[in-house]
Amino acid sequence: MTDTEKIDLLKKEILSDSNPEKEALLDNLIELEGFEAMQFIQSLFLIDPFQKSSAGKGLTMLAAYGVKKLLKLRAIESVNDFKYCPDCKSDLHKYEIIDRYSVGLKCLNNHKFHIDIQQNDFYEKSLTVNKNNNIEIAKEWLNNENYRKNINSQIAEVLRKFIESSDLASSPENQNILEKYCPVCSLSLKEFKQEDVWVKELKCTNDHIFHSRNGLSYNNSTLKPDIDKTQFQALIESYLNSDQKEQLPGQIAALFEEIN
């Protein structure tokens, strides 16, 4: 059986009501088809967009699972795409950071970036880490899967920067990372006109195109500059002084109060 025939068979089985192992089938499809499976996965959302049937709800949940998995795979692959610092165009190298859902990249001039390889939102607010001090509490929230899956990437970065507080203290107040150079090939980036006023579009003469909004997005992944001291404090205050505080796990809110 050819790969094309296997792919067609897997898609039929995924759509079949008689096969309950749909996540395993979808995993096999992604393994065979890679990111091209996204078109089929997105089509699952349209089969029953209002989720009027239990089968429709199941396919919507399956599609969400598939999208998340494909984006994670793409983000992991993209670490090899981003080779140059967009601020100074020196080489980017991976370095170890405390967050199981992110990959760290930095250049020789210590411009630091990260790529989120998995996205999620708050779920269980009553979770509590049984550790003796705030640093250990923050580390557990970032390293333990059972806790990390219950905070989003922004909260995770605040926790990481709290752990890296000595590095944060020695950094500039406002470390304005400029988007001057293509992180794929190091040529100069130029802005070009497009219809979305909320996103800046940039490209180099090699036609590498980026969407600029809280980082440079390319091929379904985003190279994000790390937050600086000013942003760190502003984010903590924003969470504590808005409705977002109600969305925080209680232990995280208490930690933010102490940091603030």
How would residue 187 be classed by pLDDT, with cut points 50, 70 and 90? very high
Q: Assess whether 139 and 253 both reside in one domain.
A: yes
What's residue 175's pLDDT? 67
pLDDT on residue 122 = 67
Q: How many domains does the chain have?
A: 2
Pairwise CA distance, residues 232 & 47, whole Å:
43
Chain segment 58-96, per-residue pLDDT in tens: 888 888 888 888 877 877 787 889 999 999 999 999 999
What is the spatial distance between Cα 222 and Cα 75, in angstroms, rounded to a whole number?
Answer: 8
Same-domain pairing of 70 and 109:
no
Domain span at 41: 3-78
145 and 48 inside one domain: no
Distances (CA, A) of 89 to 1, 93, 115, 174, 184: 47, 12, 18, 20, 10
Please give the average per-residue pLDDT across 33-46, as a whole number.
Answer: 88
Same domain, 110 and 62: no
